[in-house]
Amino acid sequence: MLKEKVLKAINSQIEKELFSSQLYLAMASWAEANGMPGTSNFLYNHAEEERIHMLKFVHYVNDRGSHATVPSCNKPENNYESVKSLFVQIMEHEEMITESINNLVAVCMEERDFTTQNFLQWYVTEQIEEESLFRSVLDKLNLLGNEKSGMYLFDADVEKLITPPSVI
Ligand code: OFO
């Protein structure tokens, strides 16, 4: 069984991963409705990725003999000013997630739960990849500046960054 503090922190992280998935789903739908098929495919795929992050926690908690609870989820923003503002928001969101994973590691260290700390290393590495991915998307957008014609190329290009969701 997990210690109370560790369980509480993981259940709170499950809520964040669920929100990430819903947020990227809402963003994907906005991009699809606004004629950006490559961007929407990229975001739909990433919404799945976040659902897998959530499930990985759920299975871990239950495998340890505790109970992972499924939370309700806040409504994500459904409208965006621009593709750039959407990706800026993702970057800020992922930085917040990285901070949250780091805090979770700190809780495990305080509670001397080295098994969970070891399990969390997957998320620590994943956050390096996620931040790097979204930074590279923002770099592409910054290179385009305000050129509307460039958005067609961006849309085709961002789709190439899709990777199959990782296995649980
Ligand atoms: Fe985007 O990494 Fe999970 O939340």
Domains of the chain: 4-159 (1.20.1260.10)
- Would you say residue 167 has pLDDT above 80? no
- Would you say residue 156 has pLDDT above 70? yes
Report residue 114's pLDDT band, with 50, 70 and 90 as the boundaries.
very high
Distance between CA 147 and CA 155 in Å, rounded?
13
Residues in Cβ contact with 41 at an 8 Å cutoff, skipping those fewer than 6 apart:
28, 159, 162
Side chain identity at residue 137, one-letter code: V
Distance between CA 127 and CA 136 in Å, rounded?
14
Question: How many A from CA of 63 to the centre of ligand 1?
Answer: 21
Residue-wise pLDDT tens digits, 4-62: 999 999 999 999 999 999 999 999 999 999 999 999 999 999 999 999 999 999 999 99
Question: How many A from CA of 149 to the centre of ligand 1?
Answer: 31
Within 6 Å (CB) of ligand 1, which residues are found? Answer: 17, 20, 50, 53, 94, 97, 130
Q: What is the CA radius of gyration of the chain?
A: 17
Question: How many A from CA of 133 to the centre of ligand 1?
Answer: 12
Q: How would you label 86-113 residue by residue, b for 16+ Cβ within 10 Å and e otherwise?
A: bbbebbebbeebbebbeebbebbeebeb
- Would you say residue 65 has pLDDT above 80? yes
Here the tokens at position 43 are 């975001």
67-71 mean pLDDT = 91
Atom 4 (ligand 1) nearest CA? 17
Residue-wise pLDDT tens digits, 134-148: 999 999 999 887 677
Distance between CA 86 and CA 114 in Å, rounded?
37
Three-point CA angle 129, 20, 18, nearest 5°: 120
116-133 mean pLDDT = 97
- pTM of the entire structure? 0.94
Distance between CA 102 and CA 117 in Å, rounded?
10
Look at the chain and count its residues.
Answer: 168
- Would you say residue 124 has pLDDT above 90? yes
